Amino acid sequence: MDPTPSAQQLADGLPDGVVVAAADATVVLVSAVAGRMLGVDPVGAVGRPLDEVLRLTDNEGRDWCAENQPFGGLATRTGVPEQSWLLPNGTEVLTTASIARPSRGAPVEQVAVVVRSGRGRARLDRERSDLVATVAHELRSPLTGVKGFVQAMLNRWDRLSDEQKKLMLTTVHADSDRLSRLIAELLDVARIDTGRLSLQPRPSDAAVLVGRVVDSVSAGSARPVALDAPDGLPRVLADPDKFTQVVTNVVENAMRHGAGDVTVSLSSLPDGADHPGVRIVVEDEGDGIPLEMRRRVFTKFWTGGARGGSGLGLYLVQGLTRAHGGSVVLGDADDGGARVTIEWPAADVPDVTPV
């Protein structure tokens, strides 16, 4: 390999396309990536005018060079900010440019344009759109219930019995809890994505916390949830609220998308494990999750089956568990259905530090 690579070799090694023009607005370098994007030969493009090589237009047919005037405009300009343009084949790309001058106010000496695929931004825009659609859909249902019952009580207060008022207020309270939980999930997702998740871990009794979750979920469903929690389990190092959120999301997911009985089993991690801790296994008797879909289960906005949901539950399960130093694995139950296995470190593990 050449120990002193040329400018062309360096440009060809970049993930984004690069087009460089000299002071006379003729091209002096086109990287291999830029050549593929623009449909030009990198060697043959050298010496041609920049506006002939950089064939980028907007939705109204305007040309990049004509609109940005890289060799004109203010004499203090040093670059062109990121913009969205279209390649000759209609594909969106994002461009930035640096404008080099020998001194402030001097004529332009060189213009370097970077062209990169717009797929990343398009994917981000889709994720944002998905988030907005998900939030709007999930908020609308409980808000509709709250508004409807409150309006009914305002209009018919004197004609409603105490039992009817109590039922309406109970429903409003439940819908308010649902709204609060969704907002908390969205905040946690944002904190996980930005690395700003705040935890307050302390030694906790996993059996007690899981038992409360099972009792709560069972109270709101006609389907049974069985709990197997032997004595003598080690205490886990956990933020109790986040631990409860993890178990709740897994159990409710089994109730929503699985079938038959749901079983929650706790056990100590075996002696051969990387560290002491507690294993939590949640199983249902449904059809399970196909192998080809399992990579997507822990991604944002994944929903399985026809019952929907926010699609954030299992994403949070994985994020919160990993933040505590634990792990989550999806598999098949012995009798069919899905099995979610959570391994949570014990409180006396010195090398597991939550983030």
In a domain, 161, yes or no: yes
Identify the DSSP state of 103: S
In a domain, 305, yes or no: yes
Domain end, chosen from 69, 93, 117, is at 117
In a domain, 304, yes or no: yes
Do 282 and 208 sit in the same domain of this protein? Answer: yes
Do 224 and 341 sit in the same domain of this protein? Answer: yes
In a domain, 44, yes or no: yes
Full domain range(s) for residue 183: 122-194
Q: How far is CA 136 from CA 109, 121, 139, 183, 304, in A?
A: 51, 22, 5, 12, 19
Is 16 within 8 Å of 119 (Cβ atoms)? no
The helix/strand count (H/E) of the chain reads as: 10, 12
Residue 263 CB burial class (10 angstroms; 0-12, 13-18, ≥19)? buried
Beta bridge pairs of residue 342 = 280, 328
Do 277 and 164 sit in the same domain of this protein? Answer: no
Number of Cβ atoms within 10 Å of the Cβ of 128: 10
Do 112 and 19 sit in the same domain of this protein? Answer: yes
In a domain, 4, yes or no: no
pLDDT at 1: 44
**pLDDT tens series, the chain, 355 aa:** 455 678 899 999 998 999 999 999 999 999 999 999 999 999 999 999 999 999 999 888 889 999 999 998 787 788 888 888 889 888 888 899 999 998 877 899 999 999 988 776 666 666 666 667 767 766 787 888 888 889 988 998 988 898 988 988 988 888 888 788 788 888 888 788 777 888 899 999 999 999 999 998 888 777 888 999 999 999 999 999 999 999 998 998 888 877 778 899 999 999 888 889 999 999 987 777 767 676 677 776 666 554 555 567 788 898 999 999 999 998 887 777 888 999 999 987 544 444 4
Do 225 and 340 sit in the same domain of this protein? Answer: yes
CATH code, domain carrying 87: 3.30.450.20
Strands 277-283 and 17-22: unpaired
CATH code, domain carrying 151: 1.10.287.130
Sign of CA dihedral 317, 318, 323, 325: positive
Q: How many domains does the chain have?
A: 3
pTM of the model as a whole? 0.58
Ordered alpha helix ranges (H), 203-239: 206-219
In a domain, 217, yes or no: yes
- Please state, in angstroms and rounded to a whole number, the distance separating the CA atoms of residues 172 and 95: 51
Residue in the block written with tokens 């105490």: 162
Contacts of 294 (CB under 8 A, 6+ apart): 330
